[in-house]
């Protein structure tokens, strides 16, 4: 490793101005921060928490256990450094490395090209000659070795070919042209993907336990709740605290389906609690929101698009500009025990904050509805049927849209999903 001085800073400046980092302010900020700390000798004391606070402006309540921004960005920076030295920086005299598991940068001098030659005066004396083996034995040995080598190569090639064919068949079965169309913006962009699961708010009464009230969805609801106040007085507990660490089995299943499909095409996929999805994460990543919108309404309100359909937790899905024959509201039709019936789900694909990136949300009042909607976007047959209804007369699919789906379910399992309608959305700054 070389001494860290002016040449080290000059190399960092060269990387900061490169095409590899020019479009990512977050990575440039992180590289400069790590370089300053490494050169000053403070990098050994760096922690994920301090990087989140000092480099990314996280609030004092930032918890790295539930917010993976730093880990994701450090991984992206390591990948960008590798790409830089394979392209623009292939001739740079100094190589900057970010070892895995560490936040301290290393500067290495690129080794000079070596030219080999033989000095006649120092050439080693010839080895004593060894009598050659009998020709017939040597031929037999060479033939046997060649046959063994050919056999090993043939077996290995056959196994590799079989595995490649199997992987290719599985890949093609999952990624049909329709699936490619629906998820194209997410796999084409050089952005990590975050799957954000809605997490219902529970009330934690210290020493007593946690409970869920259907009308308690915000921290201020807990503070104003007469029921919570009564429990606290009766059992003489400490002040109640919000608790966000549970999710429904339906949302978990949906996350698994999406992760299984998308992780094969997107290098960096992570899962976060919906209530802890930060503005920075929403701005610097592509995001898929899963579950009831009441748990991420604040994030949706920040997106540069005006929705045509809005799911309200108590009233159903509102259709604000009904076309001929369309109702103004779509209301669920539960069965006798609420584990069966008919429900509606809303899928929205919008631009991210400031028009950068993509955000997809799968929302509904029923877990079976959300699962049915996700299947339309992950199963080839369902995706084909959905796109056939959403395509324009020109054959194009809307860039941004909302799709309303109707799901029949039994015992919490979606049985049939039907297209109802869709609306094309325009970014607020896009020309009409």
Compute the C-alpha angle 360/199/246, nearest 5°.
135
- Indicate the pTM of the whole model: 0.60
- The pLDDT assigned to 278 comes to 81
- The pLDDT assigned to 115 comes to 39
Which helix (H) or strand (E) segment holds residue 4: the answer is none
Positive or negative torsion for Cα 258, 259, 260, 266: positive
Query: Taking a C-beta distance cutoff of 8 angstroms, is the pair 378, 261 a contact?
Result: yes
Q: In whole angstroms, what is the distance from residue 213 CA to residue 204 CA?
A: 11
Four-point Cα dihedral 17, 91, 79, 185, nearest 10: 70
Positive or negative torsion for Cα 266, 268, 272, 278: negative
Q: In whole angstroms, what is the distance from residue 221 CA to residue 240 CA?
A: 11
Cβ-Cβ contacts under 8 Å for 208 (sequence gap 6 or more): 231, 235, 237
Query: Taking a C-beta distance cutoff of 8 angstroms, is the pair 404, 329 a contact?
Result: no
Q: Give average pLDDT by consecutive 10-residue segment, the chain, 432 residues.
A: 68 88 85 88 86 85 82 88 88 88 85 43 46 54 55 53 46 78 89 87 85 78 87 87 76 86 88 81 91 72 88 86 95 85 95 90 90 94 94 92 95 92 84 45
């Amino acid at each position: 490793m070389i001494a860290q001085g002016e040449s080290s800073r000059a190399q960092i400046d060269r990387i900061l101005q490169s095409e590899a980092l020019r479009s990512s302010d977050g990575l440039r900020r992180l590289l400069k921060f790590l370089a300053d700390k490494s050169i000053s000798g403070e990098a050994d004391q760096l922690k994920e928490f301090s990087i989140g606070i000092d480099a990314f402006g996280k609030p004092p309540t930032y918890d790295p256990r539930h917010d993976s921004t730093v880990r994701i960005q450090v991984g992206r920076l390591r990948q960008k450094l590798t790409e830089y030295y394979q392209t623009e920086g292939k001739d740079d005299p100094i190589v900057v490395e970010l070892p895995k598991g560490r936040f301290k940068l290393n500067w290495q001098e690129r080794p000079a090209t070596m030219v080999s030659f033989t000095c006649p005066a120092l050439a080693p004396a010839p080895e004593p000659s060894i009598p050659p083996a009998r020709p017939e034995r040597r031929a037999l040995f060479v033939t046997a070795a060649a046959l063994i080598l050919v056999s090993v190569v043939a077996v290995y090639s056959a196994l590799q070919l079989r595995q490649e064919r199997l992987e290719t068949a599985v890949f093609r079965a999952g990624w049909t042209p329709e699936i490619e169309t629906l998820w194209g913006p997410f796999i084409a962009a050089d952005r990590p993907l975050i799957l954000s699961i809605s997490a219902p708010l529970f009330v934690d009464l210290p020493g007593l336990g946690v409970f869920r009230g259907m009308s308690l969805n915000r921290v201020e609801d807990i503070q104003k709740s007469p029921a919570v106040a009564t429990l606290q007085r009766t059992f003489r507990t400490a002040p109640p605290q919000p608790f966000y660490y549970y999710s429904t089995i339906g949302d978990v299943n949906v996350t698994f389906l999406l992760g299984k499909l998308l992780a094969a095409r997107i290098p960096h996929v992570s899962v976060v609690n919906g209530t802890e999805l930060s503005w920075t994460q929403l701005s610097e990543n592509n995001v898929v929101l899963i579950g009831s919108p009441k748990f991420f309404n604040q994030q949706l309100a920040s997106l540069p698009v005006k929705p045509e359909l809005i799911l309200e937790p108590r009233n159903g899905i509102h259709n604000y500009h009904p076309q001929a024959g369309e109702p103004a509201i779509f209301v669920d039709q539960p069965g006798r025990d609420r584990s069966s019936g008919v429900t509606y789900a809303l899928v929205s694909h919008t631009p991210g904050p400031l028009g950068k990136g993509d955000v997809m949300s799968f929302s509904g009042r029923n877990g079976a509805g959300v699962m049915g909607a996700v299947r339309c976007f992950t199963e080839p047959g369902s995706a084909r049927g959905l796109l056939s209804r959403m395509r324009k007369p020109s054959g194009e699919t809307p860039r941004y849209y909302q799709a309303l789906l109707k799901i029949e379910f039994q015992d919490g399992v979606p049985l049939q999903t039907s297209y109802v309608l869709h609306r094309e959305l325009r970014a607020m700054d896009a020309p009409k």
